[in-house]
Amino acid sequence: MADPTYTPPKIWTWDKESGGRFASINRPIAGPTHDKELPVGKHPFQLYSLGTPNGVKVTIMFEELLAAGFKAAEYDAWLINIGEGAQFSSGFVDINPNSKIPALMDHSTTPPTRLFESGSMLLYLAEKFGAFLPKDHYKRTEAINWLFWQMGSAPFLGGGFGHFYAYAPEKYEYPINRYAMEVKRQLDVLDRHLKVNEYFAGDEYSIADMAIWPWYGALVTGAVYDAGEFLQVHEYTNVIRWMKQVGARPGVKRGAMVNRTFGKPESQLRERHDASDFDTRTQDKLEPQS
Ligand SMILES: N[C@@H](CCC(=O)N[C@@H](CS)C(=O)NCC(=O)O)C(=O)O
């Protein structure tokens, strides 16, 4: 049991055995740990990712673009296993110096363009294809407001609440209280907005919905950190209405399957290199149960 009244030493030192779910991959230094080139497939976009909420934002955007008829949005989605440290390969760090999924290359430009940070990818793709970002000045600004809200807020949900409630080796009241309060405040922010707006940018579905849905949509289902009862997520009825509405979109359903390594085998398309992979390469087809 760690000392609950820990007094920080004068100089912080790295405790490699600190415990917690991601202790083995967390380091206080950046840069690659090993040399490895990343594979490059046949499509203009090469995504290196995993089916976590941050990864799913981008696969939803690609599937929505393809569903809307933008054939130039074809992409290969390669699996990056962050539990095994694949985000620290030299090839990955060349794209994302921050060593976090998702990382994306656009090979349709000369030279190719690197992208890191899921919000940057959503904005880049929306501008490139002229889609899912309203044209109207006020709605466009509102979509970008909420896109940046998500980027700034989700770390309190994941890195704050999720870390201390679900992943830390021991439970402490102070950080769990602090972050439960913040996450409930965030849910109330969303709930009040969605009470008077169909989507985040008003009546237009946009990249803001794609950014927020994988985190806060999942949270109100109770699936995230198994915290539905603790946070009383059923109270946020407007978020639940929006979560169901967005979740019913075919592009969202497909995007949520890509690079997914957990859940029902038929919901996992661990790598996507062709649209037909949804029919032929889900985990139930690749590894049929006997
Ligand atoms: N702000 C980043 C967050 C990305 C992020 O936190 N990715 C996590 C998985 S959800 C990751 O790759 N973690 C691996 C690590 O921290 O080593 C984004 O939205 O792209």
Predicted local distance difference test score (pLDDT) of residue 6: 87
Question: d(Cα 184, Cα 164) in Å, to the nearest integer?
Answer: 15
Q: What is the 118 CA–ligand 1 centroid distance (Å)?
A: 9
Answer whether 118 contacts ligand 1 (Cβ < 6 A). Answer: yes
Mean pLDDT of 230-256: 98
Given pLDDT bands bounded at 50, 70 and 90, which one contains residue 2? low
Atom 14 (ligand 1) nearest CA: 100
Q: How far is CA 163 from CA 50, 180, 224, 249, 263, in A?
A: 19, 11, 12, 30, 21
Atom 19 (ligand 1) nearest CA: 118
The type of residue at 22 is F
Atom 5 (ligand 1) nearest CA: 100
Q: What is the largest CA-CA distance in the chain?
A: 59
Could you tell me the two tokens for 24? 């083995």
Answer whether 82 contacts ligand 1 (Cβ < 6 A). Answer: yes
Contact 237, 230 (CB under 8 A): no
Q: What is the 83 CA–ligand 1 centroid distance (Å)?
A: 12
| Range from 98-102, 105-109, 170-174 carrying the lowest mean pLDDT | 170-174
pLDDT at 74 over 50: yes
pLDDT at 3 over 60: no
Instruction: Return the ligand 1 atom nearest residue 52 CA.
Output: 10
Answer whether 117 contacts ligand 1 (Cβ < 6 A). Answer: yes
Could you tell me the two tokens for 211? 């950014």
Instruction: Return the ligand 1 atom nearest residue 57 CA.
Output: 19
Q: pLDDT tens for residues 169-216? A: 999 999 999 999 999 999 999 999 999 999 999 999 999 999 999 999
Answer whether 150 contacts ligand 1 (Cβ < 6 A). Answer: no
Q: What is the 101 CA–ligand 1 centroid distance (Å)?
A: 5
Structural domains in the chain, sorted by start: 137-254 (1.20.1050.10)
Q: pLDDT tens for residues 268-277? A: 999 999 999 9
Mean pLDDT of 103-122: 98
pTM to 2 decimals? 0.96
Q: 282 phi and psi, to 5 degrees?
A: -70, 160
